[in-house]
């Protein structure tokens, strides 16, 4: 009897081992109607997630992508957080993916991203609903409102913030810029004023951001858990605010949140409460974090490149000299005359690569350059691999705004430049981001000198961050010590 039990146990164990081996083999060798791109899907379920999230302390392409580009070429397969993904550093495939959205591809992000941003977030919506929401958002971020309202508001915010920072011996620039932009955009979006609110809404978004691009383990103490708690708390504030406004039938429209509430009060509303809340959450996040990161890196790059800073300062001082009132606010004509500034902004966002990957999903089997992208697989367009490709940009890690001289103005994503996305989902906040960066630069270089106190190191995991901050001391130009004036902030 005992021998029979041993044989049975051995047989069951052997069957389980063989089943696992077969499952693991099928994982690493998925069926496809054609030739899959080269690459590895890594370990079952885990894939190559750990390698993808490994930190990279440079502006260069992440080691995860770079090693695979060298081994497999510009198109390769991998698996991230349990999903099979084709990674593209090929400009032609990237452009094709953007142009075929709604036909061969649709917007998609891994399940962990969907949990973070909400099931009804704008990135997960398609067709009519996405176009409808985009039209609403353009009322706020479109050029007409930028020219009429937002330019003056951003100029005022930059002027006041810089004056305040100059009164302190040191300011952590990333956090300070984030606060400035969040307060500005939150006021426009939801009439939020931190001095008058009992809710520290930005604190929740900071917690959210810390774990936004982290390994997806929802256990207390992890960055991902902190991220999810930040989202939960921020959504609680927004939901309470929405229901209070919905109950106030006589409320006059004051901000973008009121626009969404008016849409919901229609006889046959197009959007649900969940869609409206997720849209507000995404707008609050996207409005300040990406621009703050780009501006912080921009100031660091200016400090390291005095020749660029000098040319930039000359352009802005000429704008001031040409005004009747030198203390007047920026005009739209001033902004549109900032030719070199525009080049600096493009070069900054090219090097910043705030978004490490833009995700889409194949709606059917797709053949491209001899490879098959199976239906249902994700595609990760990799902007850094294009922006830092020496075949496209000479000396790609150099901060060289003059490389954009005499280039056609970029109003949408191209094969060589996709810092703001491309296709139907080209970022609706692009113009606002450029205005914010230009007005901040104008006030900074015409009124202040600065020196680095500490920090400034960057880490990508894979998103950009300043783990030890970037601390600077600002001086009004007429009061700056000679050591600062002489170094032109080149410390």
pLDDT of residue 265: 84
Query: Is residue 389 in some structural domain?
Result: yes
pLDDT of residue 119: 65
pLDDT of residue 211: 63
CA atoms within 13 A on the CB side of 448: 23
Query: Is residue 121 in some structural domain?
Result: yes
What is the rounded CA–CA span in Å between residue 15 and residue 18? 5
Q: Which domain holds residue 39?
A: 18-488
The DSSP call for residue 43 is B
pLDDT of residue 213: 59
Query: Is residue 263 in some structural domain?
Result: yes
pLDDT of residue 194: 75
pLDDT of residue 20: 45
pLDDT of residue 1: 58
Task: Decide: 469 and 174 in contact? Cβ < 8 Å.
Answer: yes
pLDDT of the chain, 491 residues: tens digit per residue: 556 555 555 555 544 544 444 444 454 556 667 899 999 998 887 889 888 888 888 889 999 999 999 999 999 999 987 889 999 999 999 999 999 988 999 888 766 666 666 666 666 666 777 788 888 888 888 889 899 999 999 999 999 999 999 999 999 999 999 999 999 998 998 888 876 664 677 777 776 666 665 666 778 877 778 878 888 888 888 899 889 888 887 788 888 888 888 888 888 888 888 888 888 888 887 777 889 999 999 999 999 999 999 999 999 999 999 988 888 889 999 999 999 999 999 999 999 998 888 999 999 999 999 999 999 999 999 999 999 999 999 999 999 999 999 886 666 678 899 998 888 788 888 999 999 999 999 999 999 999 999 999 998 887 788 989 999 999 998 776 655 543 433 33
Exposed, middle or buried: residue 11 (CB in 10 Å: 0-12, 13-18, 19+)? exposed
Query: Is residue 260 in some structural domain?
Result: yes
Query: Is residue 430 in some structural domain?
Result: yes
Query: Is residue 167 in some structural domain?
Result: yes
Q: Which tokens is 29 given? A: 């060798």
What is the rounded CA–CA span in Å between residue 424 and residue 108? 14
pLDDT of residue 490: 35
pLDDT of residue 24: 47
pLDDT of residue 72: 97
pLDDT of residue 259: 87
What is the rounded CA–CA span in Å between residue 285 and residue 227? 12
Q: Which tokens is 238 given? A: 């927004």
pLDDT of residue 25: 45
What pTM does this model have? Answer: 0.87
Q: Which tokens is 355 given? A: 């978004």
CATH number of the domain bearing residue 262: 1.10.630.10
Query: Is residue 11 in some structural domain?
Result: no
Query: Is residue 435 in some structural domain?
Result: yes
How many domains would you assign to the chain?
1
What is the rounded CA–CA span in Å between residue 448 and residue 182? 23
What is the rounded CA–CA span in Å between residue 178 and residue 196? 19
Phi, psi values for residue 461, rounded to 5°? -135, 45
What is the rounded CA–CA span in Å between residue 3 and residue 345? 76
DSSP character string of 356-394: S-EEEEESS-EEETTEEE-TT-EEEE-HHHHHT-TTTSS
pLDDT of residue 212: 61
What is the rounded CA–CA span in Å between residue 3 and residue 13? 15
pLDDT of residue 214: 60
> Is residue 427 part of an annotated ligand binding site?
yes
């Amino acid at each position: 009897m005992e021998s029979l039990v041993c044989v049975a146990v051995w047989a069951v164990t052997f069957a389980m081992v063989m089943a696992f081996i077969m499952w693991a083999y099928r994982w690493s060798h998925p069926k496809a109607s054609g030739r899959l791109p080269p690459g590895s899907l890594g370990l079952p379920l885990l894939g190559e997630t750990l390698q993808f999230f490994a930190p990279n302390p440079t502006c260069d392409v992440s080691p995860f992508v770079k090693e695979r580009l060298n081994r497999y070429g510009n198109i390769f397969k991998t698996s991230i957080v349990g999903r099979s993904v084709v990674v593209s550093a090929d400009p032609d495939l990237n452009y094709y993916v953007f142009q075929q959205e709604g036909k061969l591809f649709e917007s998609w992000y891994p399940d962990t991203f969907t949990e973070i941003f909400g099931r009804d977030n704008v990135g997960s919506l398609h067709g009519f609903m996405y176009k409808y929401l985009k039209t609403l958002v353009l009322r706020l971020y479109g050029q007409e409102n930028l020219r009429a309202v937002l330019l003056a508001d951003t100029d005022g915010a930059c002027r006041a913030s810089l004056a305040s920072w100059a009164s302190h011996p040191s300011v952590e620039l990333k956090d300070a810029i984030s606060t400035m932009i969040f307060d500005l955009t939150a006021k426009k979006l939801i009439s939020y004023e931190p001095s008058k609110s009992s809710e520290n809404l930005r604190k929740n978004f900071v917690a959210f951001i810390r774990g936004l691009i982290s390994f997806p383990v929802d256990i207390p103490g992890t960055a991902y858990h902190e991220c999810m708690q930040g989202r939960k708390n921020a959504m609680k504030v927004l939901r309470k605010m929405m229901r209070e406004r919905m109950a106030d039938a006589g409320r006059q429209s004051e901000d973008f949140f009121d626009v969404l509430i008016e849409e919901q009060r229609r006889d046959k509303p197009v959007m649900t409460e969940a869609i409206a809340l997720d849209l507000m959450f995404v707008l609050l996040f996207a409005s300040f974090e990406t621009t703050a990161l780009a501006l912080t890196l921009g100031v660091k790059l200016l400090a390291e490149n005095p020749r660029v800073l000098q040319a930039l300062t000359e352009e802005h001082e000429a704008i001031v000299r040409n005004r009747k009132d030198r203390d007047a606010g920026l005009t739209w004509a001033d902004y549109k005359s900032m030719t070199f500034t525009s080049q600096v902004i493009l070069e900054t966002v090219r090097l910043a690569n705030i978004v490490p990957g833009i995700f889409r999903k194949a709606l059917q089997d797709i053949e491209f350059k001899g490879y098959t992208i199976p239906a249902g697989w994700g595609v990760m367009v990799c902007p850094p691999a294009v922006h830092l490709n020496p075949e496209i940009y000479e000396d790609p890690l150099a901060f060289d705004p003059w490389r954009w001289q005499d280039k056609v103005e970029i109003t949408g994503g191209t094969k060589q430049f996709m810092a703001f996305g491309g296709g139907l989902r080209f970022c609706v906040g692009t113009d606002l981001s450029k205005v914010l960066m230009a007005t901040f630069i104008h006030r900074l270089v015409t009124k202040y000198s600065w020196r680095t106190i500490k920090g400034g190191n960057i880490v990508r995991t894979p998103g950009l961050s300043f783990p030890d901050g970037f601390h600077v001391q600002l001086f009004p130009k007429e009061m700056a010590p000679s050591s600062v004036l002489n170094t032109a902030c080149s410390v």
